[in-house]
Structure 1
Amino acid sequence: MPTTRRPAGRATSAAALAACAALVLAACSGGDDDADGGITVWIQEDLPDRVAATQEIVDGFTSASGIAVELVPVGEDQFNQLLISAAAAGDLPDVIGGVSLPQVRTLSANELLDVDAVAEVVQTLGEDTFTGRALELTRDGDAQLAVPSESWLQLLYYRTDLFEAAGLDPPTSYDAILAAAEELDTEDLAGFVGATAPGDAFTEQTFEHVALGNGCELVDEGGEVTLDSPACVEALDFYGTLVQEHSVPGAQDVDTVRASYFAGQAAMFIWSTFVLDEMAGLRNDAMPSCDECAENPAFLAENTGVVTAIDGPSGGEPAQFGEVTSWTVVGESDRDGAVAFVEHMMTDGYLDWIAIAPEGKVPVRVGTAENPTEFTDAWAELPVGVDTKAPLADFYAPEVLEALRAGPEGLSRWALEQGQGDLLGATQGEQPVATAVNEVSSGSEARSTAETAAEAVRSIQESVS
């Protein structure tokens, strides 16, 4: 599966960017405009079909505005290094699209953003046309750092047919998840499968999703690392127990987790919304292979429920992990052209952009002043898939689609609200949390593992402070 479809590929080597960008800022002239007044736009999409679809949107903008655009697709695993090189050469783009929350904070920490231009776009579009949570997560104090565009969500998926047959409640809490895993776990069926591979952002994201609902935070309001807090120890212990006693053997990554569920070998799994089209049998190289899927490739989609927010025993309320990706304007860019382009991508070009991958681009600009739900209403009817295309509504129950629509409003992320977004970005390079998850999943004691991970995060924090 290409990395651009993985939930884990959005923020790697941010520590290197944080360290290097500061050294090259003096050389930055930013957004080196073409002689004809054009702009350069980077997008973190490099699959040919997505680049082609984006180019069509860009061509429409150029036709309407007269502003030439050089579109540069950037691979997710190359983004930070290319950004460092461009900054050193004084050749930064004018606009960057598909920017993750940690990347937004790293760009901001290195003073690479034109926050006034970003604020102008948001004000023109209308703050009340966005989900409030998306604006909060892309804001630092009073400064709007990026224009939030879409989100993908981390979800707990479960077999509704198996749960109903066993008389089990939906797995919305630690207790319910563990009870279901114990009840459904057999020689042929794992109660749960989740990521455990060390050094993998997908493992960190999966655990953060589980941990947030237990009140486990990376740092507290004062910026002190709290990964070794009782709430985090409890979350690690819960996940370790779940995996050791009720999962499949071996380290699990983004591909093997999906494969187990698709083969009908797991009752629950955690993955992003990018799996929805594949689960419906719309992608030939990632088809469900369960026994029932031979006659009905959409069997799993029709018999899968989703849990957005998980509730832990020490948490105040259920919490939801996800990512918001944004458009942002680079400092010293062709401001007028950049602002016009981003406004186009959030208006006339918005649904075409969302349509590139609706399963992983849930709109966070929900509508317009005239039609407050225009974009979310249209999103549910957009065709998804690769080799076969059809709307999500053809396969998933209305309550699933409603959960996806509402999900962005309840997103939480470690460190952002505590003003430590640069730390979140920096941890993506070393992945101490993924290492801790792998260790407890292999039998290590949760408290000592949490303490080791916390010390690693503290060391990273010192390096970026």
Structure 2
Amino acid sequence: MKSRSIAVTMMAVSAVAAVTLAGCTSEPENGETSEEQGITFWVQEDLPDRVEATEAIVADFEEKSGIDVEVVSVAEDQFAQLITSSAAAGDLPDVIGGISLPQVRTLSASELIDTEAVSAVVEDLDPSTFSDKALELTADGDAQLAVPSESWLQMLLYRTDLFEAAGLDAPDSYDKILEAAEALNSSDLAGFVGATAPGDAFTEQTFEQIALGNDCQLVDEDAEITLDSEQCVESFDFYGDLISNYSVPGAQDVDTTRATYFGGQAAMFIWSSFVLDEMAGLRNDAKPTCPECAENPAFLAENTGVVTSIAGPDSDEPAQFGEITSWTITDGANATGSQEFIKFMMSDGYEDWIAIAPEGKVPARFGTPDEPTRYSDVWATLPAGVDTKAPLSDFYSAEVLDAVAAGPANIARWGIPQGQGDLLGALQGEQPVANAVNEVTQGAEAEQAATTAAETARAVQESLQ
């Protein structure tokens, strides 16, 4: 569930990564115009309330444009299989929404994107209205692969009340994280809880944030695998120490890490901005259960700080991890209808679209040429939550919300800047990094775990050539 975790948007790409597919959508028949033919739109969302909200926005577009849109809700863990079979059958959707950066790269490697149609949309909307970083991450040289829509940001969240009582600094570096974990760890409270489950994309993403802060990269500028570099060995060693000595027993995943922190049993954890509405008590099936939360459901929200960028000892500057989700137009699609639809979703329909889940839909398009900050300004005022709705500003400080809003401008990712985005997608099947993380948190030597991860990554890279 993309709406509830940072892991799943990357899980759906692995089945497509090693094959090149030649399917395409059908051409207009019987002399129909693009408008008369309509378009098929796949949305990677299967939560009923969000599908319903999407359909309402689409209905508004249909009424205003006269273009029919068939909305197909696609479960994210089924996306790769459905794209593969649809491409093979020559029956791709025209538009896909909510796709992650690795998915964009995998679709591009399989030559399933109409880059000219996508580029025209960005030009019509005006590139200056978008985050430069978001455009950079969704492009391949001069080819625009997708229209960046929104982002979620991964964060280290921590108990400000406990940190203040102990006289601890914000945990924004390896040293400060370890210092705080050691100081606060006890039989009743874990100093830190983080993902360790093998074969899990959430584990890989959690570690990628830690690793980026120490300048541990998946590949170097020559596209050589560097997971066994000194920086990466240091990152594996740090995370292994943190989990082995200051965390809770057993494999941890996206659900258990949240539950531990929500239960008041951890001083720090790593999750995405999607947790913000839940931590404020706005979702009934994921409410905080800490002792103080019985009287004040928003206690954790009011006593949690966020660190977006972490610094390691081997890096000149800190780094942060996040995801850009985008729109794209498939090769052979009804380009005219698809372009009109995406432009609507990024303009007249954009506020309603990000309002579906503002905690995880930080605008990658800040505004319009006439109102440069229109969408960024409205974002913080939008009601978040599921069972209860309220603006995030009712619970979080301006400092916290500003850090989240700045996400699209500062996101770093493995592989994509070095032109190896297709490798990043392909690795989601093997998950060598997640497996290495699990090994070091169970006592394996960091150097050996890093070597094994690097060897697996090299084998996957060779399979793509």
Verify same fold: TM over 0.5: yes
Matches within 5 A, 1:38-437: 38-437=38-437
* Aligned-pair Cα RMSD in Å: 1.1
Quick check: 1:8 aligned with 2:7? yes
Aligned length: 460
CA change 1:400–1:257 in 2 (3 A) is same
Give how far 1:46 is off.
Answer: 1.1
Q: Distance in 1 between the 2:156 and 2:145 partners?
A: 30
Q: Distance in 1 between the 2:11 and 2:274 partners?
A: 19
Q: Which moved more, 1:120-129 or 1:199-208?
A: 120-129
- Residue number in structure 2 paired with 1:30: 25
Q: Distance in 2 between the 1:45 and 1:75 partners?
A: 6
- Residue number in structure 1 paired with 2:460: 460
Q: Distance in 1 between the 2:182 and 2:71 partners?
A: 51
Q: Distance in 1 between the 2:317 and 2:457 partners?
A: 26
Give how far 1:17 is off.
Answer: 0.6
Q: Distance in 2 between the 1:162 and 1:373 partners?
A: 36
Q: TM-score under structure 2 normalisation?
A: 0.97
Deviations 1:351-375 (A, max 9, x none): 1110111111111101111111110
- Residue number in structure 1 paired with 2:17: 18
Q: Contact 1:4–1:46 (CA<8 Å) still a contact in 2? A: no
Partner AA of 1:214 in structure 2: N
Quick check: 1:450 aligned with 2:445? no
Matched residue of 1:154: which SS? strand
Q: Contact 1:97–1:328 (CA<8 Å) still a contact in 2? A: yes
Q: Contact 2:263–2:289 (CA<8 Å) still a contact in 1? A: yes
Give how far 1:316 is off.
Answer: 1.9
Q: Contact 1:4–1:76 (CA<8 Å) still a contact in 2? A: no
Listed as ranges, the gaps of 5+ residues in structure 1 are none
Q: Contact 1:67–1:337 (CA<8 Å) still a contact in 2? A: yes
Give how far 1:18 is off.
Answer: 2.2
Give how far 1:193 is off.
Answer: 0.3
Deviations 1:82-118 (A, max 9, x none): 0011101110011100010000001111111111111
Deviations 1:291-315 (A, max 9, x none): 1000000000000000001001101
CA change 1:397–1:102 in 2 (3 A) is same
Partner AA of 2:109 in structure 1: A
Q: Distance in 2 between the 1:29 and 1:322 partners?
A: 31
**Percentage of pairs with the same residue:** 66
Give how far 1:32 is off.
Answer: 5.4
Give how far 1:14 is off.
Answer: 2.7
Give how far 1:19 is off.
Answer: 2.6
Q: Which moved more, 1:31-40 or 1:444-453?
A: 31-40
Q: Distance in 2 between the 1:396 and 1:70 partners?
A: 38
Q: Distance in 2 between the 1:164 and 1:384 partners?
A: 28
Matched residue of 2:80: which SS? helix
Q: Contact 2:14–2:80 (CA<8 Å) still a contact in 1? A: no
Q: Distance in 2 between the 1:126 and 1:406 partners?
A: 20
Give how far 1:280 is off.
Answer: 0.3
CA change 1:122–1:447 in 2 (3 A) is same
Partner AA of 2:393 in structure 1: A
Q: Contact 1:32–1:92 (CA<8 Å) still a contact in 2? A: no
Q: Distance in 1 between the 2:46 and 2:393 partners?
A: 27
Q: Contact 1:31–1:333 (CA<8 Å) still a contact in 2? A: yes
Q: Contact 2:3–2:274 (CA<8 Å) still a contact in 1? A: no
Give how far 1:31 is off.
Answer: 5.1
CA change 1:333–1:268 in 2 (3 A) is same
Q: Contact 2:363–2:379 (CA<8 Å) still a contact in 1? A: yes
Matched residue of 2:123: which SS? helix
Q: Distance in 2 between the 1:14 and 1:350 partners?
A: 26
Partner AA of 1:444 in structure 2: A
Report runs of 4+ in structure 1 exceeding 4 Å deviation. Answer: 31-35
Partner AA of 2:316 in structure 1: G
Give how far 1:33 is off.
Answer: 5.3
Q: Contact 2:132–2:409 (CA<8 Å) still a contact in 1? A: yes
Q: Contact 1:273–1:360 (CA<8 Å) still a contact in 2? A: yes
Q: Distance in 2 between the 1:95 and 1:88 partners?
A: 17
Give how far 1:181 is off.
Answer: 0.5
Q: Distance in 2 between the 1:5 and 1:63 partners?
A: 32
Q: Contact 1:31–1:94 (CA<8 Å) still a contact in 2? A: no
Partner AA of 2:77 in structure 1: D
Partner AA of 2:24 in structure 1: S
Give how far 1:220 is off.
Answer: 0.5
Q: Contact 1:32–1:90 (CA<8 Å) still a contact in 2? A: no
Q: TM-score under structure 1 normalisation?
A: 0.97
Q: Distance in 1 between the 2:366 and 2:9 partners?
A: 23
Q: Distance in 2 between the 1:357 and 1:391 partners?
A: 11
Q: Distance in 1 between the 2:353 and 2:12 partners?
A: 27
Matched residue of 2:37: which SS? coil
Partner AA of 2:13 in structure 1: A
Deviations 1:108-130 (A, max 9, x none): 11111111111111111111111
CA change 1:13–1:297 in 2 (3 A) is closer
Partner AA of 2:276 in structure 1: L
Give how far 1:42 is off.
Answer: 0.5
Give how far 1:287 is off.
Answer: 0.7
Partner AA of 1:8 in structure 2: A
